[in-house]
Amino acid sequence: MKTVAVLVGSLRHDSNNLKFARALEKLASGRLTFVYPDIGSLPHYNDDLWANPPESVLTLKRQLNDADAVIFVTPEYNRSIPGVLKNAIDWASRPYGSSAWVEKPASIIGTTPGVIGTAVAQSQLRSIAVVLQMIVMGQPEVYFQLKPGLITENFEVTDDQTREFLEGYLARFERWIDLVGPQRSVAVAAE
């Protein structure tokens, strides 16, 4: 089973994006294992801290390196990504030559009660991901409008059409990991 690091860009206890991620996790049960790195405990990025890296940074890098892929679940704050998410991205990209992002299969999604469903934040995050050499899945795009009652307190999706779309997204992401993930390199090298 593949392990997916899920970076949720909201620290709020009752975060819509965390609820969305947990609903995806439930739909992916038995196929993908989700791990949720704690990005809230990271200090603000400071290159001086690499002299004695904080344990939270080492744990983040270890979790990302151990994961087969990453899903970014981002809210949109002022037409951009949250600072806590950018901070985690910066920590994991360092020190130079030891980025956890290089050739990591990735997907970028997000939810909001608004109709554009974090589209602007996702666009900015895609720009960052490409520079860091992540291999970002292009389709399907998931600009998710979270309407009341669509996801229950037990993280079940109540609408059949929405559930089918999200199951299709997860199936496509699993195929994406197979297509571009590290096991592909091993298979190619063996041929």
Angle, CA 94 vertex, CA 90 and CA 98 arms, to 5°: 140
**In the chain, what are the domain boundaries?**
2-190
Kindly state the helix (H) or strand (E) to which residue 84 belongs, with its residue range.
helix 83-92
What's the confidence (pLDDT) of residue 95? Answer: 93
pLDDT at 160 over 70: yes
CB atoms within 10 A of CB 128: 19
Position with higher pLDDT, 191 vs 45:
45
What is the percentage of the chain residues whose pLDDT exceeds 70?
Answer: 95
pLDDT at 191 over 70: no
Find the mean pLDDT for residues 62-81.
95
First-to-final CA distance of the chain: 24
Find the mean pLDDT for residues 4-17.
96
When pLDDT is cut at 50, 70 and 90, the band that residue 54 belongs to is: very high
- Give domain 2-190's CATH superfamily: Flavodoxin domain (3.40.50.360)
pLDDT at 189 over 60: no
What's the confidence (pLDDT) of residue 187? Answer: 42
What's the confidence (pLDDT) of residue 184? Answer: 53
Find the mean pLDDT for residues 97-115.
94
When pLDDT is cut at 50, 70 and 90, the band that residue 117 belongs to is: confident
pLDDT at 130 over 70: yes
C-beta separation of 92 from 60 below 8 A: yes
Find the mean pLDDT for residues 66-82.
95
HSE (CB half, 13 Å, CA atoms) of 28?
Answer: 25
SS3 26: helix
Find the mean pLDDT for residues 19-38.
97
When pLDDT is cut at 50, 70 and 90, the band that residue 183 belongs to is: low
What's the confidence (pLDDT) of residue 188? Answer: 43
Phi-psi region of 130 (alpha: psi -120 to 50; beta: other; left: phi over 0): alpha
Out of 50-54, 115-119, 122-126, least confident range: 115-119
Out of 75-79, 87-91, 151-155, least confident range: 75-79
SS3 164: helix
C-beta separation of 23 from 155 below 8 A: yes
